[in-house]
Structure 1
Amino acid sequence: MSEKITDVFLQLFCEKNSDGTKHLRLKGNELYQRISYRLTHKDMHRVASFMKEYVGEIVSLDLSYNDIGDEGMKILAKEFFNEDNNLQHINLMQCSIKSEGMKWLVTSEYLKLKSCRVNGNEIGYAGARWIASLIQNCLSLELLDIAETDQTWESIECILIVCEQSTLKVLDISKIIPPTYYTKYDPALLADELAVLLKVNAILVELHVQKCAFDGHDIDILVSGLRSSKSLQLLDLGYNRMGDLGVRAIARWLRTGPPLRALMLPGNTIRELGARALSFGMPFSKVRYLDLTDNKITDLGLSIILDKIKKYYQLRYFFIWGNTIGPITCERMERMLASGVLHQEGIDIKLYTVDGELHAAYYPTNHYKHKYYSVMDHGCAIELKIKRNKIHHPDSLPRALIKFSHIDRYPPVNESLGLKVRKESVCPEDEEN
């Protein structure tokens, strides 16, 4: 046990929220840079004791990138989770937790979790039953991140069946089955199970399915379920291999005007034909966040998309870095920035002129993965001081057009406007713009 992990030390890592609650931030990568040490199971007694002292105030716990293991989860479960605890959010990413640790978390009494992230742990198929049990028994759970947890096809199938009648609004199963020789599976079966989930679950808002080896035909199967979903607002299909065929299926679905607000398709080998197909579907969609980074779209393909984003539901975030950005795209982008169709803080390129010719440089606007992987804001430990987080009311004005996990809210809250007055007579369609 490190002698530096004292109550005073933990107080410095306890962020205060404006609503009177606290967020205990104990990220292993930050601790290692500060004291060359990551938390182990021996430190969990002290952490649990500190949390019991502020049991009604601490609502969020971040233990990502530590080495607490199953024994650490056992200590936390036994010494902290009681009827007085108010813990709503827990981040256990890359904490060396296996099936036994998941068991101790799930079998804890008085769980009140709203979000649980266990991505990057080798929970395996033996821990799938405890993941399913968490979904079934924790009726307050809204966000579950089980990406990269070394499942098998049989175990993930059982988890998805449980998700059909659950309270989940956000589900992340990216790279859920490791692509090794011993764990081969047919991605079409996973796409079919997800299609069934989308047809049955009426409250799912976000679905993240990165790195699952979906090709164009698998996406076609998935779209059959997307057509039935009336609640999905964010779809993340990054780093699959859908190609132009898969984008065509997505574009046909967008023509039907689904409630989708954010579409993430980075790293999918999309070319000019796929970009052209997407441009035909975009004018009919409600998409305000579009991520096409790290594809193979040509300069002409990007210009075709730019010509079609002037639509009723204005695009607020548009990311294209990693494609071929040539003079045609730069000219279109310059014109749209001048006219106000796009804004610099909503795109990931910055235009500059050399010898009278426009060029594009990377502009760090897309912070999605930065926040998802709990990367430190400045890449290194900064001055240690008590941080205070402003928690805005859900009805704060102006009304949120984009509001998802790890994505900046658009537009930002203007406190001088107060709260929005709800009118029962107003139709949802009238509030979309």
Structure 2
Amino acid sequence: MAHKFNEDFLNLFCEKNSDGTKNLRLKGNELQQRIGSRVKAKDMHCIANFLNAHREITRLDLSYNDFGDKGLMILSDEYFSRENDLLHINIMHCDIGVEGLELFSCSECLHLKSCRLNGNKIGSRGARFIAQLIDRCPSLEYIDIAETDQTLESIESILIVIEHSTIKVLDISRIIPNSYYTKYNKATLADDLSVVLKLNQTLVELHVQKFEFDGHDVELLLSGLNVNKTLLVLDLGCNAIGDLGMEILSEWLKTRPSCRALNVSSNDIHDSGARALSFGLPFSKLRFLDISNNNIGDSGLVDLLNTLKKFCRMRMLFLWGNKFGPHACHKLDRMLESKVLEQDYLDIKIYKVDEKLHAAYYPVNHYKHIYYNVMDHGCPVELKIKKNKIIDPAALPRELLNMSHYGRYPPVDESLGLKKEVQKVCKSEVEQKEVNDVEQNQFSMRRKCN
């Protein structure tokens, strides 16, 4: 299929951005349905030439393809060895191993801000090349190395480099494979993560799903959380922290940390854990809470909902997968009517049958779909040039939540313009330019008179 990846074909898969840049989207699951094939190693020559000819491309998505080590080596040799402007690359689930990652991490012209390697079975031998990539690319802010089959020793070598890096978003979910035949010391890993939280001064998001952390591991993690002042998103989903872990996290929330978002979904939490969280929630700055798919009953949900009216309003709340009863349904219905919660940011829909309230799933949480590049309708949409609006950091209303794979909250209202501080700066710059022009004209007139 190498003949298909020509100039015209690749242009069809480019998305335009409002700032003049472009995204090249070559997702393997989409290509398979369109042309019956995924990107192979031999296709990388055409893609590298296209990227070299179009320096405006800043984002490359090659997820779920079959080019493997050989393809990544071709891309590194023909593109990353030269000066380029690529900032974001997604090569998740592309059969990449140690050999391809070695050449990629040694590339001379890496200016990446984000790199997703998750799903590639790199193994413990490739840990030093992951660390080398982080070390050689000081502009890197987002690194996703989940599901890369590391060992406890190899992940420790990566965390040592991250301790003094400028990483803002770190995803190491299920980085160590676990089965009935192989086990690792979870407490050691939790202690290593607490050291990272203590030493790293830039970390904003930490995703540590599927580590089987229990309440005692959360207690070890807490020593780093108490010190860290930059963390805004803590993702502990799909672990086993239980009620004890929630009690520990509740005590941490009472100290009013900087954390804005907490994910504790699928953690075997019961009513006592929800009640413990309700004691710490009013003191926290949380605007996002995902406590879905647990074993919380009607009374626990009511305790939790009673504490949402706090000084820092809850903006996104995901509760589906718990045991909703009449009291929780009634409470949630009243909160929706009073606008304490918004239906568009809540995954529960309350409906009435025979004068009784019931709860149904409301599909608003698309985090995993976006993370794993799942197609919206199971099939590729119509091919057309997509235009993405790049949000100005000074846009209004002021952003309250802005996490990877979640939409900005609240959405931008273009009629409000930019923040006053930015407008003042822009106005002062214009005034200064006018003053300089006047002075220049006066100077020119004096020279003519003389």
Cα offset, 1:292, TM superposition: 0.7
The alignment partner of 1:358 has SS state of: strand
CA shift digits 1:4-55 (9 cap, x unpaired): 222211111100000000000000011111122111101111111111110x
TM alignment of 1:23-422, pairs within 5 A: 23-54=23-54, 56-181=55-180, 183-422=182-421
What is the SS of the residue equivalent to 1:79? Answer: helix
Q: Partners of 1:360 and 1:155 in 2: how far apart?
A: 45
How far off is 1:380 after superposition? 1.1
What TM-score do the two structures reach when normalised by structure 1?
Answer: 0.96
**Residues 350 and 363, structure 1, Cα contact 8 Å, conserved in 2:** yes
Aligned residues: 422
- Helix, strand or coil at the partner of 2:402: strand
Cα distance between partner residues in 2 of 1:379 and 1:420: 40
Return the offset for 1:235: 0.3
* Superposition deviation, residue 229 in structure 1: 0.7
Deviations 1:302-338 (A, max 9, x none): 1110000100110000001011011111101110011
In the aligned structure 2, how far is the partner of 1:414 from the partner of 1:96? 42
Decide which moves more: 303-312 or 83-92. 83-92
How much does 1:280 deviate?
0.4
Q: What residue number does 2:13 align with?
A: 13
CA spacing shift, 1:349–1:156, aligned 2, 3 Å: same
Q: Using the alignment, how far apart are the partners of 1:261 and 1:89 within structure 2? A: 25
Q: Distance in 1 between matches of 2:373 and 2:282?
A: 35
Aligned mates of 2:10, 2:321 — CA distance in 1: 41
Distance, in Å, in 2 between the alignment partners of 1:228 and 1:240 is 23
1:74-119 per-residue CA deviation (whole Å, 9 max, x = no partner) reads 0101111245310000001100001111112111111000000000
Other structure's SS at 1:402 match: coil
- Residue 331 of structure 1 aligns with an amino acid whose one-letter code is H
Cα distance between partner residues in 1 of 2:202 and 2:209: 21
1:377: Cα distance to partner?
2.3
Alpha-carbon distance between aligned partners in 1 of 2:204 and 2:145, rounded to the nearest angstrom: 16
1:179 positional shift: 0.1
Matched letter for residue 6 of structure 2: T
1:181 deviates by 4.9
1:15 match: secondary structure: strand
Partner SS, residue 349 of structure 2: strand
Which deviates the most, 2-11 or 243-252? 2-11
Counterpart contact for 1:177–1:183, Cα < 8 Å: no
Higher helix content, 1 or 2: 2
Separation in 1, partners of 2:20, 2:362: 36
For 1:162, the aligned partner's letter is V
Report the counterpart of residue 428 of structure 1 in structure 2: none
Deviation, structure 1 residue 261: 0.5
1:150 is paired with a residue whose SS is coil
Q: Is the Cα–Cα contact under 8 Å of residues 152 and 183 in structure 1 kept in the other structure? A: no
* Structure-2-length-normalised TM-score: 0.92
Assess if the C-alpha contact under 8 Å between 1:14 and 1:386 holds in 2.
Answer: yes
Structure 1 residue runs of 5 or longer lacking an equivalent are 424-433
Superposition misfits of 4+ residues, deviation over 6 angstroms? none
CA contact (8 A) 1:174 1:212 kept: yes
Asked if the contact 1:116–1:143 (Cα under 8 Å) also holds between the matched residues in 2, the reply is yes
Task: Deviation per CA, 1:368-427: give whole Å up to 9, x if none.
Answer: 11111111122211111010100011111111100010011100011121211349xxxx
Who is 1:426 aligned against? none
Secondary structure in 2 aligned to 1:84? coil
State the alpha-carbon separation in 1 of the partners of residues 347 and 30 from structure 2.
27
Greater CA deviation, 403-412 or 414-423? 414-423
Report if aligned partners of 1:69, 1:98 keep a CA contact under 8 Å in 2.
Answer: yes
**Which of structures 1 and 2 has the bigger CA Rg?**
2
